[in-house]
Amino acid sequence: MVKTYESAALFLKEAKEILLEQEAVSQLVLGNAIGAGDQPCRSDLFFGTVWLKGEMVMAFCNCLPWNLVIHAVLQRKGEVWRNEADALIGAESEKIATAARELAAYLKENAIPVKGVNANGFVCQNFLEHYCEEGLIAEKELSMDIMECRNLRPAALQAGIYRSAAPEDADWILEGCLAFEQEALGKQGDREKLLENILDHQIKNNSLRLFCLTDNTPVCMANLARNLTNGFSINQVYTVPKYRGKGYAQTLIYKFCEEFFRSGYSFATLFVDKTNPISNRVYAKVGFEIVEDNYAYHFTEAEEKDE
């Protein structure tokens, strides 16, 4: 049974405690619900759960223009699915597969617009098999792993300056953001919008951190993507190409986590690209571990693709 809610607040009242058990994995659903506050739900902003025999199996949100996000709450804490083949065998995996099918049927029957889907590989596989009818194509956008760090490991740190970004760093950060988007997403960002976000949000809100050489020349950056209930999420990790492989990003991430752990957060989390294992080892060296995989698909009509 698919259950929807009149508001994000009512969704959280029922699901928040369960979502917090796997906060790093559920962060997109949980973060969207907290951000929506008391807004009433509608077709382009709604939250729901899927139940089987009185047991909550899934929680989801559809917040356009973003993808539908599905979190399998039934997954036992500490078990990692790195791809579809690693899914649990037996009753639990069958419940999750059934719930994914029910959610797909519900969305189609109610003609609810969905741009794409984010979920672990097993959920995506079962959802897409029942959601994509003839004429609708699901194209993979991203293949990621969700990593989590609760305890920093001793690591070799480079000499240099770790500091917050300042307005005078905006041009350097802009070039880094443009390069990051080109490398990670294969597209060029909008310079004006990026610069506005850097100045009016990231620098103003003190979310960006830089690691610099001893002469204060920036070499890499990282951003506080979102504050979670018990932890924090990092994104936009970028190192200037000529400074890669020298331990600067490792030092930046270590010091970033150290700073926020001292502020009272219990864990750090980030999404990493499965196709970049060299970069991802940087995070493992300072204490990050994979807790789940995550895929993003977007939908296109077959006629659109043919044009």
Among 13, 293, 300, which residue's Cα sits nearest to residue 125?
A: 293
Give the chain's mean pLDDT: 90
**pLDDT confidence of 83, banded at 50, 70, 90?**
very low
Tokens in use for 291? 């807790």
pLDDT value, residue 301 = 83
Query: Could you report the per-residue pLDDT of 250-278, keeping only the tens digit for each?
Result: 999 999 999 999 999 999 999 999 888 77
- Where is pLDDT greater, at 29 or 301? 29
**pLDDT confidence of 74, banded at 50, 70, 90?**
confident
Q: Which of 79-93, 146-160, 235-249 is predicted with the least confidence, judged by mean pLDDT?
A: 79-93
Is 60 exceeded by the pLDDT of residue 88?
no
pLDDT value, residue 90 = 59
Tokens in use for 45? 């902003």
Q: Which residues face 147 on adjacent strands?
A: 270, 290
Is 70 exceeded by the pLDDT of residue 123?
yes
Among 126, 252, 138, 235, which residue's Cα sits nearest to residue 180?
A: 235
- pTM attached to this predicted model: 0.90
